[in-house]
Structure 1
């Protein structure tokens, strides 16, 4: 894996040299914009509307628009000075329980490996967090962006989850049409809870597949082979308006799905049964 960051975790006066690796990868199928007339890929051009010409990277700086059409400019060196030396340190501020953090705060996961001289301190932090069941809340800067982070243990690896700052989370009050008071019918609630119980299971990530990506890859293969793209069948949806009827239909459907695998299992042969002879 490619190293995306090098630095150290610090908690108290202990420093743990680490290397950072991205724990996830984007599996999206990349598409390019094509000029349909001549089948040529289109290029991204950095063009100045005032000078009416393409601009080289050497002529580009970053700017903040503080009023419409008015900017303050920052060079790379100025932004680095603002960022300071903290971008080489993951500073643990507190230790908390993982259940204290709402999932809305989580952004991206990274794996942290021990640096060349940090195996002992790395193992100490890993095992102490595992035995206490606590995770660290830290600050880190990656590519000039300051983030909060959760430091936790995954198997025998220290992992880091970047998390949003509180002011980056939009207030629920901005969501339209939320009920002021939740009112439900008792019978409907009981049936909904029964449906949840029937659909409840242990989480197995391997059972979930990206069906869209699979169909897109299949469509690409058909296109390459000069064949027509097959249209995905529309999922069956009953036109049920009554909520009780919809709940009952859902319960019946889930019960049928659970019963069918058992019904399809081959019946075990008894000692009296003989295998059928094949006629050649």
Structure 2
């Protein structure tokens, strides 16, 4: 893993120099929009909705749309005046009981690794959190914006989890009617809960959709159902270029010896199929990862 941020945790007069690592990564399947006929990627132009003209990046500004549909244009100078911070401090504001943190507030997770000089105070903070069964509510500046977060311990490592602001949690605007239940129904539901009771083990669950997509793509590649485009997979580029260079070298050698063109065509035909299969395999590996 590569550290994405360096700073220090401060609580009281104790300062713990740390590195921040992203603790999660998404394995969600993503697709590209392409032309069904030839596999070419679909491009989008930056077009103004008023005059219909394409807009250059230099002419694009940030706009804030009001509730009544009016647009407020914000210049670079306006943005420069906004409160931002480059502080490298994770400041502990207070230690709160763990059950007071609503899981809905938690957002992204990061691992905290101590610098060599901070190993002892890091261990001290970790043990204090465990013994008190509390989380540390902190403020931290990430991407030049101050946000609130919590520190907690997971597998002997202190984890920082950023939090949403309270007003970002939506309240349900619906009511549930007809929710009266009978004692016999409650008893039966409780029996069902007891039957399915157990401990959570994340390894018991699999992303069958992603696996199915990978198998489908692999099958199509092995069946030759691929489109070769000028921007085709970078992973196969070196193989194709190397093959072309070898073919040219062979042809040059044959020309110098005066060999027939029929032999060249036969050699190309023999080499073309396995080369395509090799490139396809690399493409499958690239997409699966």
Residue in structure 2 matched with residue 231 of structure 1 by the alignment:
none
Residue in structure 2 matched with residue 93 of structure 1 by the alignment:
93
Cα root mean square deviation, aligned: 2.5
Q: Secondary structure of 2:170's match?
A: coil
Deviates more, 1:37-46 or 1:20-29: 37-46
Residue in structure 2 matched with residue 126 of structure 1 by the alignment:
126
Say if 1:210 and 1:158 are closer, same or farther in 2 by CA, change over 3 A.
same
CA distance in 2 between partners of 1:120 and 1:134 (Å): 20
For the Cα contact (< 8 Å) 2:9–2:91, is it kept in 1? yes
Residue in structure 1 matched with residue 266 of structure 2 by the alignment:
none
Answer yes or no: is 1:178 the counterpart of 2:179.
no
Residue in structure 1 matched with residue 209 of structure 2 by the alignment:
212
For the Cα contact (< 8 Å) 1:61–1:76, is it kept in 2? no
Q: CA deviation at 1:75?
A: 2.3
CA distance in 2 between partners of 1:32 and 1:136 (Å): 42
Residue in structure 2 matched with residue 201 of structure 1 by the alignment:
198
Residue in structure 1 matched with residue 251 of structure 2 by the alignment:
none
* TM-score, normalised relative to structure 2: 0.69
CA distance in 2 between partners of 1:125 and 1:76 (Å): 42
Residue in structure 2 matched with residue 75 of structure 1 by the alignment:
76
Q: CA deviation at 1:165?
A: 1.5
Q: CA deviation at 1:112?
A: 1.0
* TM-score, normalised relative to structure 1: 0.71
Residue in structure 2 matched with residue 143 of structure 1 by the alignment:
143
Say if 1:3 and 1:223 are closer, same or farther in 2 by CA, change over 3 A.
same
Deviates more, 1:114-123 or 1:206-215: 114-123
For the Cα contact (< 8 Å) 2:9–2:90, is it kept in 1? yes
For the Cα contact (< 8 Å) 1:79–1:144, is it kept in 2? no
Judging by fraction of residues, say which structure has more strand: 1
CA distance in 1 between partners of 2:144 and 2:61 (Å): 15
Say if 1:190 and 1:159 are closer, same or farther in 2 by CA, change over 3 A.
same
For the Cα contact (< 8 Å) 2:21–2:110, is it kept in 1? yes
Say if 1:227 and 1:5 are closer, same or farther in 2 by CA, change over 3 A.
same
Deviates more, 1:126-135 or 1:200-209: 126-135
State the Cα deviation string for residues 147-186 of structure 1 (Å, max 9, x = none): 22110111221101111121111113x1x2423x842011
Q: Please, which runs of 5 or more residues in structure 1 have no aligned partner?
A: 229-280
CA distance in 2 between partners of 1:77 and 1:123 (Å): 44
For the Cα contact (< 8 Å) 1:63–1:71, is it kept in 2? yes
Q: Secondary structure of 1:82's match?
A: coil
